[in-house]
Amino acid sequence: MFDSLQDRLGDAFKKFRGQSSLDENNIKEGLREVRLALLEADVNFKVVKDFVESIRERALGEDVTKGLDPGQQVVKIVHEGLIELLGGEQTGLDLKPSPLKVMMVGLQGSGKTTSSGKISLFLRKNENRKPYLVPADVYRPAAIEQLQTLGRQLDVPVYPSSPDMDPVEICRDALVKAEEAGCDLIMFDTAGRLHIDEPLMEELGNIKQSCRPDEILFVADAMTGQDAVTVAGTFDQRLDITGVVLTKMDGDARGGAALSIKSVTGKSVKFVGVGEKLSDLELFHPDRIASRILGMGDMLTLIEKAQTTIDEDEAKGLAEKMAKAQFDLEDFRSQMRKMKKLGSLEGLLKLIPGMGGIMKQLGDAQLPEDEMKRTEAIINSMTMKERRNPKLINASRKERIAKGSGNDVAAVNALLKNFKQMSKMMSKMMGGGKGKKGKFPKFPKGMPALGEGGMPDMGAGMPGMPGMPGMPGMPGMPGMEGMEDAGQRRTISKKTLKERKKKKLKKKLRKKKR
């Protein structure tokens, strides 16, 4: 979402490169670019004006920290300013009440129903809550059916609403049913409209008065930009919302809503939807979002994603398998599937500091998601015995696997070859057996770097390291092309040395016999 803003801010910070100090002239020129970048990102005009003015005052009144150049100092100040703009500290739900009553409000199509399911799953996994879903949108029958479907997917109870029922009565009766079911989290999915109207706001006000929700979350589509902020302000005036949920944060919107909503409404963003799956929900961390906007990555989010997907004991078991060269294609497929759960490769790499810029330089040479699909299709076409023991795969089996996966035999050969090389490499790096120390192996041939960026060519499929799931292909490294030849020369010289010793011993034995 923040890609274009990140690019524009990067250009703004270039204005400070080569400057020996910060003064009013270079600050004014640089902040002009910052102002334009924020306005292009659809940030509220008043918010931009106040933000740029606060950055200017801080930049003028602050000495350049030792070890930083003026450009880095401005990045530091802007980073701190963005954190404040986004809300300062992370603000979650008030989890003290039991049952916790959460009322979801917003315009039609903003994602209230899906967000209700996502928050239910999030709180069940992280806070051990027992959710109860309440479909209170009787004007759109599909909304009731959608929430019932989500309830089946999550295996949680859903109030049996119908289009002929009164929304206020539904919510009031649901409180009794939830208590009978032993649930301590009640999610009210209320109705929306294409635009704000008085009957809607009056209905929501009656539900609030009747059920007294602990949290009223306004759900906003981040793709709508400033419109979302304006609507949030109206809902806040009528209902006194407690927080905001931003959906579609994985889209290509400019991010203005996320940057403006706290300043305009005074209410914090509590959750962000980052995908279509029910698990694609994150707590909104202002410091992490600010780091992403400035291209600093977000390692904490990446680690949290990995911890929720990768089992520590399983990772240790894989490490032992790799060390003993027992890592097979079944293990590889399992790790590749876990990789998919973490999200797209492009999205994950952007969380690593510095990788966002490298990916932009590469353009079309970025890691292909299709390559992982093709690799998994090939492995799926194998029998369990073949996955456990790839040595069984002969010419006829390769033809069957190729046809079954919709590929040619060359693709199957490439996968098996690369997997074999990777298995050897990982075994050497991780010990290679009892009592042996790991050493960095020779790089297999056919792994050259691509272009000036040094991005490697990706093979047909290679396993990941324990704790880091599989990725398609194994990267080559620029400047390492001659390593294998050098390793072979060392191996040959050792053999030659042994042969010479043997010849010398034979000569000595002959002399003694004589």
Same domain flag for 117 and 264: yes
Residue 154 within a domain = yes
Same domain flag for 161 and 198: yes
Residue 466 within a domain = no
Same domain flag for 36 and 175: no
Same domain flag for 336 and 267: no
Backbone angles phi, psi at 346, to 5 degrees: -65, -45
Residue 91 within a domain = no
R_g of the chain, CA atoms, integer Å: 30
Residue 266 within a domain = yes
The predicted-structure confidence for 24-73, as pLDDT tens digits, reads as follows 777 777 788 888 888 887 788 888 888 888 888 887 766 655 556 666 77
Q: Which of 68-77, 293-302, 438-447, 466-475 ranks highest by mean pLDDT?
A: 68-77
The predicted-structure confidence for 475-502, as pLDDT tens digits, reads as follows 333 333 333 333 333 334 555 666 777 7
Same domain flag for 277 and 417: no
DSSP state of 442: P
Number of domain units in the chain: 3
The predicted-structure confidence for 107-118, as pLDDT tens digits, reads as follows 888 889 999 999
Buried b / exposed e along 168-205 (16+ C-beta atoms within 10 A): bebbebbbebbeeeebbbbbbbbbbeeeeeeebbebbe
What distances in angstroms separate CA 132 from CA 93, 124, 218, 244, one per listed residue?
Answer: 17, 11, 19, 21
Range of the domain at 443: 310-456
The answer on pLDDT for 438 being more than 50 is no
Residue 479 within a domain = no
Same domain flag for 426 and 289: no
pTM of the model: 0.62
CATH code at 404? 1.10.260.30
Q: Which of 243-257, 345-359, 379-393 ranks highest by mean pLDDT?
A: 379-393
The predicted-structure confidence for 194-233, as pLDDT tens digits, reads as follows 777 888 889 999 999 999 999 999 998 877 777 778 888 8
Model pLDDT, residue 279? 86
End of a domain among 38, 61, 85?
Answer: 85
CATH code at 72? 1.20.120.140
Same domain flag for 279 and 154: yes
Same domain flag for 150 and 215: yes
The predicted-structure confidence for 103-162, as pLDDT tens digits, reads as follows 999 888 888 999 999 999 999 998 999 999 999 999 887 889 999 999 999 999 999 999
Model pLDDT, residue 169? 94
Model pLDDT, residue 241? 92
Model pLDDT, residue 57? 82
Model pLDDT, residue 307? 61
The answer on pLDDT for 6 being more than 80 is no
Residues 212, 168: contact at Cβ < 8 Å? Answer: no
End of a domain among 296, 328, 359?
Answer: 296
